[in-house]
């Protein structure tokens, strides 16, 4: 069913001023990019600041305003959220676009659900301007974005349906997170905090036990996901979220850009060498993957020289479930506040605590059992994701109910 559409800028303010300026000594909530949760579409409550401390040089917004990350890769990663603040007003990163809908015409939750559609991010990525690493979504893209014009009642109904299903997804993600917490507890119980190294394990440079660190490439990709028969390029989120996201891998335009030496295989240990400060230095052990999938240049493959000395599952645990991740992030450098990078040379010099291999294998066995339970939860989450995507697709095309749009 065809649904009338209107430009977003006609029913919402893009980057508006505050309705009233807070007093200099008034408390406001300060949000950085890390305070935006890309999965849930929400924010933290923010850090408390005096308005006079942050009134210049930052983006200003109100509680319940919608925040859209404008810079790469935050926009592509889905950092689009509704501000839920401790105070009536907030101040934050200059890399936010702020959207404030006309409440007589546009429901905020409906608008949030609309903006978080994958196609909105894909189209916005094509409209980005600027140089590599500094590309941004222009304000005009959001202002001219066509949005379906339903009655307020129908908008609220659509938002409620999508919020309900999304709440189920959040519960399943929470269950997965608790299993990750259990994995961390198992690691710390067996090996202790590596920074304190209470058991006196040998500390070894990564360069001394890695055979090599492979770099991927970033070939030109199509603006769609790869089919099972095509070569695709692994999305960065597959590592930063420590899971495999086959539906998000971009397709290559032709086999001529394929370097099969960069194909991702089960058993690979991957490392996010470049990302936002809070996501850089993530690692993932690949247990299963589709065929014909290539490594991008934002991700390293860590190739262990001798697994009878260092087990890859243990190494993944050390880099994921311990304080070593934070220490690795401290090695990252970059000229842009939004992007951090870890070089091969710094990674090679990084020291790791290496216990006897029989303990590493014992940890790997326990983690493998835990991964079986986690896999079940992830399968259920995949089903909920598919349901949500179907409802989302139908809702914004007027197909969620049989009745016509009002």
Write down all domains in the chain, each with its CATH number in brackets.
Answer: 5-149 (3.90.220.20), 202-354 (3.90.220.20)
Residue 296 neighbours by CB under 8 Å, 6+ apart = 216, 217, 218, 233, 234, 236
Instruction: Compute the distance between CA of residue 283 and CA of residue 121 in angstroms, rounded to an integer.
Output: 25
Cβ atoms of residues 405 and 211 within 8 Å: no
Q: What is the pLDDT of residues 202-238, one digit of tens each?
A: 999 999 999 999 998 877 777 777 787 788 888 877 7
Q: Which of 74-78, 99-103, 255-259 has the highest mean pLDDT?
A: 99-103
DSSP string, 109-127: HHHHHHHTSHHHHHHHHHT
Give residue 89's pLDDT: 97
Strand positions, DSSP E, 206-267: 210-215, 232-233, 250-251
Task: Residue 267: count other Cβ atoms within 10 Å of its Cβ.
Answer: 11
Give residue 404's pLDDT: 37
Over the range 312-334, which residues count as b (16 or more CB within 10 Å of their CB) and which as e? bbbbbbbbbbbebeeebbebbeb
Give residue 278's pLDDT: 78
State mean pLDDT over 282-303: 89
Strand positions, DSSP E, 111-226: 146-148, 202-205, 210-215
- Closest to 38 measured CA to CA, from 68, 4, 58: 68
* Measured torsion, CA atoms of residues 197, 202, 204, 209, in degrees rounded to the nearest 10: -120
First CA to last CA across the chain, in angstroms? Answer: 12
Q: What is the pLDDT of residues 113-161, one digit of tens each?
A: 999 999 999 999 999 999 876 899 999 999 999 999 899 999 999 999 9
β 5-7/66-69 pair status: unpaired
Q: What is the pLDDT of residues 157-193, one digit of tens each?
A: 999 999 999 999 999 999 998 998 999 999 999 999 9
Give residue 2's pLDDT: 66
Cβ atoms of residues 286 and 239 within 8 Å: no
Query: Higher model confidence: residue 77 or residue 210?
Result: 210
* Confidence band for 290, pLDDT divided at 50, 70 and 90: confident
Query: Higher model confidence: residue 131 or residue 353?
Result: 353
pLDDT at 293 over 60: yes
pLDDT at 93 over 90: yes
Give residue 47's pLDDT: 95
Instruction: Compute the distance between CA of residue 391 and CA of residue 385 in angstroms, rounded to an integer.
Output: 10
Query: Higher model confidence: residue 186 or residue 294?
Result: 186
Query: Higher model confidence: residue 96 or residue 77?
Result: 96
Q: How many residues can be counted in the chain?
A: 406
Give residue 227's pLDDT: 80
Give residue 241's pLDDT: 62
Instruction: Compute the distance between CA of residue 154 and CA of residue 37 in angstroms, rounded to an integer.
Output: 27
Share of the chain above pLDDT 70, in %: 94
Give residue 334's pLDDT: 67
pTM for this prediction: 0.73
Tokens standing for residue 258: 């394929």
Beta bridge partners of 69: 96
pLDDT at 338 over 60: no
Q: What is the pLDDT of residues 376-396, one digit of tens each?
A: 998 999 899 999 999 999 999
pLDDT at 246 over 60: no
Cβ atoms of residues 359 and 191 within 8 Å: yes
């Amino acid at each position: 069913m065809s649904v009338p559409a209107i430009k977003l800028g006609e029913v919402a303010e893009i980057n508006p001023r505050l309705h009233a300026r807070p007093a200099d000594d008034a408390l406001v909530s300060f949000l950085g990019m890390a305070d935006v949760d890309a999965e849930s579409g929400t924010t933290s409550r923010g850090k408390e600041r005096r308005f006079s401390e942050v009134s210049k040089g930052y983006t200003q917004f109100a509680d319940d305003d919608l925040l859209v990350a404008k810079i790469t890769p935050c926009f592509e990663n889905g950092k689009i959220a509704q501000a839920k603040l401790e105070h009536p007003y907030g101040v934050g990163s200059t890399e936010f676009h702020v959207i404030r809908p006309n409440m007589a015409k546009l429901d905020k939750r409906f608008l949030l659900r609309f903006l978080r559609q994958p196609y909105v991010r894909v189209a916005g990525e094509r409209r980005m301007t600027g140089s590599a690493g500094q590309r941004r979504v222009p304000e005009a893209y959001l202002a001219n974005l066509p949005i379906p014009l339903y009655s307020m009642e129908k908008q609220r109904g659509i938002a409620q349906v999508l919020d309900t299903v999304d709440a189920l997804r959040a519960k399943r993600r929470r269950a997965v997170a608790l299993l990750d917490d259990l994995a961390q507890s198992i690691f710390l119980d067996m090996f202790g905090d590596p920074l304190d190294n209470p058991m006196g394990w040998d500390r070894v440079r990564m360069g001394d036990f890695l055979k090599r660190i492979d770099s991927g490439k970033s070939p030109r990709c199509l603006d769609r996901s790869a089919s099972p028969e095509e070569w695709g390029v692994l999305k960065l989120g597959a590592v930063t979220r420590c899971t495999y996201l086959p539906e998000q891998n971009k397709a290559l335009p032709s086999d001529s850009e394929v370097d099969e030496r960069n194909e991702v295989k089960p058993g690979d240990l991957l490392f996010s060498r470049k990302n936002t400060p809070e996501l850089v230095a993530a690692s993932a052990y690949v247990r299963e993957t589709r065929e014909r999938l290539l490594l991008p240049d934002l991700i390293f493959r860590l190739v262990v020289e001798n697994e009878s000395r260092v087990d890859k599952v243990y190494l993944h645990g050390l880099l994921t479930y311990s304080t070593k991740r934070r220490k690795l992030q401290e090695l990252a450098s970059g000229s842009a506040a939004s992007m951090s990078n870890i070089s091969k040379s710094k990674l090679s010099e990084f020291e790791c605590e290496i216990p006897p291999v029989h303990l590493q294998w014992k940890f790997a066995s326990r983690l493998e059992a835990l991964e079986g339970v986690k896999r079940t939860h992830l399968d259920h989450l995949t089903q909920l994701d598919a349901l949500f995507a179907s409802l989302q697709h139908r809702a914004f095309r007027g197909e969620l109910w049989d009745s016509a749009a009002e």
